Amino acid sequence: MSTQSTTNSGEVTLSRELNLFTVTMMGVGGMIGAGIFVLTGIAAGEAGPAVILVFLLNGLITSLTAMSYAELGSVLPGAGGGFTYIKEALGGTAGFLAGWMSWFAQAVAGSLYGLAFGRFGAELIDLADLPTFGLSTDQLSMGLMTIIILAFIFINYRGASETAAAGNILTVTKIAILGALVVFGLLAIAGKDLSQAEISTDFFANGAIGVLSAMGLTFIAFEGYEIIAQAGEEVINPKRNIPIAIFASIGIAVLIYVLVAFVAVGATIAPAGMTVSAYLGEQGELAIIEVADQVFPWGIGALVLLLSGLASTTSALNATTYAASRVSFAMGRANNLPSFFAKVHPQRHTPYWAVVFTGVLMIAMAWTLPIADIAAAASIMFLLLFLQVNLALLYLRRSRPELDRGFKVPFVPFLPLLAIALSALLAISLFRFSAVAWYFVIGWTVIGALAYFSYFSRIEEMEKPKEILHEEVLISHDYSVLVPIGKQSQAKILGKIGAIIASDRDGEVLALHVVQVPRQLSLGDGRLLLKESRPLLDEAIARAKERDVPVHTIIRLGRNVAEAVRLTAVENASDLLVLGWPGYTKSTGKLFGSVIDPIVDNPPTDVVVIRHRRWRPLKKILVPVTGGLNSRRAVKLAASMARAESPEQVTLTILHVMPPGANHRARILGQRAIDASQEGVEYDSIETKMVQSGDRAAAILEAAEGYDLIVIGASDEPLFRNFMVGTLAERVARDANVTVMMVKRRSSPLHSFVRHTILEPTIPKPID
């Protein structure tokens, strides 16, 4: 199979050679590993016969997050999986911590599988009466663990195809053996009377708390599909194959887990005086071996399951070694780990240093913690990682709607929010099972945070491509008006209005031009598109000089113009953002357009959208108000325009429209709205007016006859009503004969977080 192994610049890259079957088997191998052998008995001791339900519920819960992985993996198929998605959506700090957690979790899972292999190997040597050379069972287990991890370091160093071939053979082998266990177990159950058995009489032996603890403990068994996402850069046709492989691997794993748990609880005979679940819990990681010994004919159960256990743990170890090395490789490439983690072998096309250091971490973990605490620590890390992946999905749905998604999660935001809540619940429940695991997780996270803020964040900042190609600062001012400019006509009017506002506040104009870089080009190649940028900024500078206002100019590269404008506003702590709207949009489903809508829906600072008509010298300004902070901002902005634009006195008219036949109470509320809008406004020539009308927009347009400017605030909305400026302001702006300025205040931190991650933008239906 021919694969692409170098970029156009000659850089050595990973090769695409993993087909659908192979990558599905990698997911299955990661899920049907030590979890089913090592943890089934421990989970039965925690949950009782409800361990069957534990595996089923975990499968359903993990499917919620798997949908997020399927969507993100189809659109961002790079090495690193969850780390790549979170870094793309939530930025540097969150991305680093996600990668740090994922690397740790995959490595710790590998340690668990290595320990299980060592224990099964030692038991097999004892069963076969082979020589142990004077080593105790524990010493033999640890020695075998170290040998198998070293072996898979070598296999993963050799290449992805060798890794996948070994994994496919081992995965198919263990599925066949577990299938035999289920068949013989069901035959054993068929000969029993289950009406008096524990599975029928005391299903929830340890209550809901026991079920939750067991779910948290065994969740590590359902993280294997994350390995598919980690392999995104090496999967053939990732947009199609990643979602299919994720759901297929989960379906296979859940079916096998539920059937094996049913057989374990239903077919096992416990010693007198003990329940089956207590007996399985006492057997711990060897519980499934005991089940096989009882249900297989000819006394070969223990031997067969030990062989299957060896196959399962080695395939899972193979998959987690692969996944953990790809996470650390992606982190090295993003300057979140030392650069040698990102080195790719020139012949093998494998991240060989990432593989070696991942193996070292696995061995260190296996020698450090008990097996149950290792499983709990890995589960906590995966749950926290999955929580962040769901947040990343919500954010990217809002910020990058243009991405071509091979799969889309349904019922957003409800399903991702449910996944977030359940992941948090399971992670917290594990504190009861293993406080040590939580302490270890917290310690690892703190170490990572210290490393990032003290070193890697600075390296990351130095190495990332320059988005800002030009920045010229004359003098720093306390008040800054950000004016994004996309075309010559905008430069003239927006520059003029921005300068008027800034001059009243003794502030500056920040003139911004964003060069939108197509996905086909790298960000650096965007420099080729710069030739039209400077004339736009020169026009804005000329308008500002007319007012003797200093100008700060920026030319910035970006994939998404709205996000580039938002980022500039935040980085420069801008006080006001001035946007231009021509009165129509060519963007389907947008009210003001693909740039203005996402900014106005969740403003990073106070924002004014200008519908420009022929500019008139200001004599009279109309300010319709409804009450609330946006109305107050509109009056303040109108007063600022009046003070700065005309040396003569400009009349400000504050207008409130009441419903027809307004009673005394409505008049009082209208007067309160007018009075509230003037709080903190320093301007003398203000008159107020109240009118009655069943059509507020028509009343405002009628009252605007003879005025030179309309300044109108957006309707103040509750947190979970996701409207932008609204149809009233939009209709006034579209139909008025004079320039209209629509004003909206910045979002609060809570508004901003919820709108960025949870709420889909809701666009009011325009009024014809």
pLDDT of residue 1: 35
Same domain (yes/no): 570, 581: no
pLDDT of residue 32: 77
The mean per-residue pLDDT over the stretch 127-132 comes to 81
Identify the residue with better confidence: 490 or 695: 695
Domain membership of residue 445 (yes or no) is no
Residue at which a domain ends, from 574, 601, 626 = 574
Angle at 161 between CA 156 and CA 164, to 5 degrees: 75
Could you tell me the two tokens for 656?
């409130």
Could you tell me the two tokens for 104?
């740790």
CA dist 366 and 370 (Å) reads 8
Q: What's the pLDDT tens digit per position in 515-530?
A: 887 655 555 555 555 6
Q: Which of 27-41, 204-218, 416-430 has the lowest mean pLDDT?
A: 27-41
pLDDT of residue 166: 63
Above pLDDT 90, what percent of the chain?
Answer: 19
* 36-64 CB burial, b ≥16 within 10 A, e <16: bbbbbbbbbbbbbbbbbbbbbbbbebbbb
Domain membership of residue 36 (yes or no) is yes
pLDDT of residue 525: 54
DSSP state of 456: I
CA dist 321 and 342 (Å) reads 16
Same domain (yes/no): 648, 686: yes
The mean per-residue pLDDT over the stretch 366-388 comes to 81
The mean per-residue pLDDT over the stretch 211-240 comes to 77
Q: Which stretch of DSSP H or E encloses residue 289?
A: helix 287-295
Whether the predicted pLDDT of 87 surpasses 60: yes
pLDDT of residue 579: 93
Q: How many helices (H) and strands (E) does the chain have?
A: 29, 11
Identify the residue with better confidence: 392 or 524: 392
Identify the residue with better confidence: 76 or 252: 252
Could you tell me which of 517, 513, 473, 471 has the C-alpha nearest to residue 491? 513
Q: Which domain holds residue 354?
A: 20-429
Same domain (yes/no): 104, 219: yes
Q: What's the pLDDT tens digit per position in 36-64?
A: 777 788 888 888 889 899 999 988 988 99
Identify the residue with better confidence: 471 or 74: 74
Domain membership of residue 32 (yes or no) is yes
pLDDT of residue 766: 41
Whether the predicted pLDDT of 392 surpasses 80: yes
Whichever domain contains 614, its CATH number is 3.40.50.620
Query: Is 451 buried (19+), middle (13-18) or exposed (0-12) by CB count in 10 A?
Result: middle
Above pLDDT 70, what percent of the chain?
Answer: 84
Q: In this structure, what are the phi and psi dihedrals at residue 234, rounded to the nearest 5 degrees?
A: -115, 10
pLDDT of residue 53: 92
When pLDDT is cut at 50, 70 and 90, the band that residue 9 belongs to is very low
Domain membership of residue 3 (yes or no) is no
The mean per-residue pLDDT over the stretch 728-739 comes to 89
Identify the residue with better confidence: 525 or 72: 72
Same domain (yes/no): 523, 561: yes
Q: What's the total number of domains in the chain?
A: 3
For the chain, state the CA radius of gyration: 32
pLDDT of residue 471: 56
Same domain (yes/no): 482, 586: no
Same domain (yes/no): 104, 201: yes
pLDDT of residue 589: 60
Domain membership of residue 436 (yes or no) is no
Angle at 25 between CA 19 and CA 69, to 5 degrees: 80
CA dist 159 and 224 (Å) reads 20
pLDDT of residue 461: 67
How many residues are listed for the chain in this entry? 768
pLDDT of residue 699: 93
pLDDT of residue 711: 95
pLDDT of residue 724: 43
Whether the predicted pLDDT of 4 surpasses 50: no
Same domain (yes/no): 336, 291: yes
Q: What's the pLDDT tens digit per position in 640-688?
A: 999 887 767 899 999 999 989 888 888 998 899 899 899 888 888 899 9
Question: Which residues lie closer than 8 Å to 327 by C-beta, 6 or more apart?
Answer: 79, 80, 81, 83, 99, 102, 103, 106, 230
Whichever domain contains 36, its CATH number is 1.20.1740.10
Same domain (yes/no): 319, 380: yes
Query: Is 683 buried (19+), middle (13-18) or exposed (0-12) by CB count in 10 A?
Result: middle
Whether the predicted pLDDT of 413 surpasses 60: yes
Same domain (yes/no): 397, 477: no
Domain membership of residue 591 (yes or no) is yes
Whether the predicted pLDDT of 592 surpasses 90: no
Q: What's the pLDDT tens digit per position in 327-369?
A: 888 888 888 888 888 888 777 677 888 889 998 989 988 887 7
pLDDT of residue 56: 92
State the first-to-last Cα distance of the chain, in angstroms, to the nearest integer.
58
CA dist 45 and 280 (Å) reads 6
- Cα-Cα-Cα-Cα dihedral of 137, 141, 147, 150, to 10°? -160
Q: Which stretch of DSSP H or E encloses residue 92?
A: helix 92-127
Domain membership of residue 13 (yes or no) is no
Residue at which a domain ends, from 574, 589, 618 = 574
Domain membership of residue 441 (yes or no) is no
> Ranked by mean pLDDT, which of 263-272, 563-572, 630-639 comes out on top?
630-639
The mean per-residue pLDDT over the stretch 739-759 comes to 71
Query: Is 553 buried (19+), middle (13-18) or exposed (0-12) by CB count in 10 A?
Result: buried
Same domain (yes/no): 527, 655: no
Mean pLDDT of the chain: 81
Q: Which of 65-69, 206-210, 245-249, 630-634 has the lowest mean pLDDT?
A: 206-210
Half-sphere exposure of 385 (CA within 13 A, CB side): 33
Q: Which of 128-137, 159-168, 674-683 has the lowest mean pLDDT?
A: 159-168
Same domain (yes/no): 418, 490: no
